[in-house]
Amino acid sequence: MNNNTNTAVTRNIRVQGDRLWQSLMEMAQIGGTDKGGCNRQTFTDVDKQGRDLFIRWCLDAGCTMSIDTVGNIFARRPGIDNSLPPVLTGSHLDTQPTGGKFDGVYGVLAGLEVIRSLNDANLTTLAPLEIAVWTNEEGSRFSPAMLGSGVWCGEFDLDYAYSRQDKEGLSFFDELQRIGYLGSEPATHRPLKAAFEVHIEQGPILEDEGLQIGVLTGVQGMHWYDLTLFGQPCHAGPTPMEMRKDPFMALPDILTRLYRLADQYAPWGRVTFGDISANPGSRNTVPESITLAVDLRHPDQSVLDAMDQTFRSIVESATAEKQLDYKIDDEWRSPAVAFNTECIEAVRGAVCALGYSNKEMVSGAGHDSVYISRVAPTSMIFIPCEGGLSHNEAENASTEDLEAGANVLLHAMLKMANQA
């Protein structure tokens, strides 16, 4: 590998889109489903197979490998000055139970394609480059999501991660050890020059507007709650409607007013009710309580805080009107993220130099970059996905868009890695 940072070579280098596609399709066979998606959940046997394949590819590309105590994998390509902090990219290999071929894995294999393309051009960066595979980003087997990056960035304690259990009662630690990915490197952050993550959009905006690249300036803030409304159980037949303390009676008002709240803060306000349960759950009994999962999102933290207060006021007034009690449990809070200006400029510069149509965006979904941004300069790159579908076996992206995103990643990383 020559110490070659020639400007003309750097400017003209591109990834091999066909090779990237072939790698994605080969990885997709591991945990592939009958409907064309992937089921490669954290620390399953197929997760191990996917990790093993990635490591083999990285070793073939001349990288050195390390694994930390939460199972995060790091592939390192040396630079001219290895004392400099590396420029990192990456995402995750785990999937939803009915996931697709591109969510997460594209960000990992685009990073590998960057390294392969630099090898093809015999080009060495000033600072080293790294690819990260973050553990349990999806959270589909072990909750919460983004455990690997969360531990690495100090959001979660290592023992907390180890104690998580799946629905069968199997622990995170035991399964990590079982598949042979309990590493020896400390799961703690270290200096990075920059961090980038390329990802399918998981939404319809880029496709609807006919654009190739999203230049990410941040990630929406997210508040998760469990709202429980308490009533009085009674028989469905003999009890007159006007005498009931039925928790469902307050629900329509709450739902309607929360949907209006999202409309009030359009276009980025979001409200979602993803789960509901009734206790005791008998069809001929007014429930003693109902619990509703509530998800509020907005990219402006001050707006999200205002939505939080309005949500609480709505619940208080709606339950008081129906003479019900309530409880709001705060399940998870992820503050709104503003990405690093210099990293955003590196992405924007790459997009302009490459001539791709683009727009600035915020992500509506959480990513490992949310946690990485707390300890390192970070930004993200989006490409369109067909129909905006993700977390779905029909998830799809075009070879041209996948190649474009990887080219933007390549040139953004070169920009940051070759700075003195």
- At residue 228, the 3 state secondary structure works out as strand
Same domain for 344 and 256: no
- Which pairs from 111-114 meet CB under 8 Å and 24+ separation? 111/75, 111/409, 112/23, 112/54, 112/57, 112/58, 112/61, 112/75, 113/15, 113/16, 113/19, 113/20, 113/23, 113/406, 113/410, 114/15, 114/89, 114/406, 114/409, 114/410, 114/413
Tell me whether residue 215 is in a domain.
yes
Same domain for 175 and 51: yes
Please identify, among 270, 302, 334, the residue that sits at the C-terminal boundary of a domain: 334
Please identify, among 278, 311, 334, the residue that sits at the C-terminal boundary of a domain: 334
- What is the C-alpha separation between 32 and 36, in angstroms, rounded? 7
Q: What is the pLDDT of residue 291?
A: 97
**pLDDT tens sequence across 330-380:** 988 889 999 999 999 999 999 999 999 999 999 988 899 999 999 999 999
Question: Can you give the CATH number for the domain in which 104 is found?
Answer: 3.40.630.10
The total domain count for the chain is: 2
145 lies in which domain range?
7-220+336-417
Same domain for 278 and 174: no
Residue 4 class from Cβ within 10 Å (0-12 exposed, 13-18 middle, 19+ buried)? middle
Same domain for 21 and 105: yes
Same domain for 354 and 302: no
Same domain for 341 and 265: no
Buried/exposed 367-400: b ≥16 CB within 10 Å, e otherwise: bbbbbbbbbbbbbbbbbbbbebbbbbbebbbbee
Same domain for 262 and 168: no
**pLDDT tens sequence across 282-324:** 999 999 999 999 999 999 999 999 999 999 999 999 999 999 9
Whether this prediction's pTM lies above 0.85 is answered by: yes
Same domain for 275 and 175: no
Please identify, among 277, 307, 334, the residue that sits at the C-terminal boundary of a domain: 334
Tokens coding 279: 């206790």
DSSP string, 71-118: --EEEEE--S-TTSPPEEEEE-----TTB-SSTTHHHHHHHHHHHHHH
Same domain for 349 and 316: no
Q: What is the pLDDT of residue 215?
A: 98
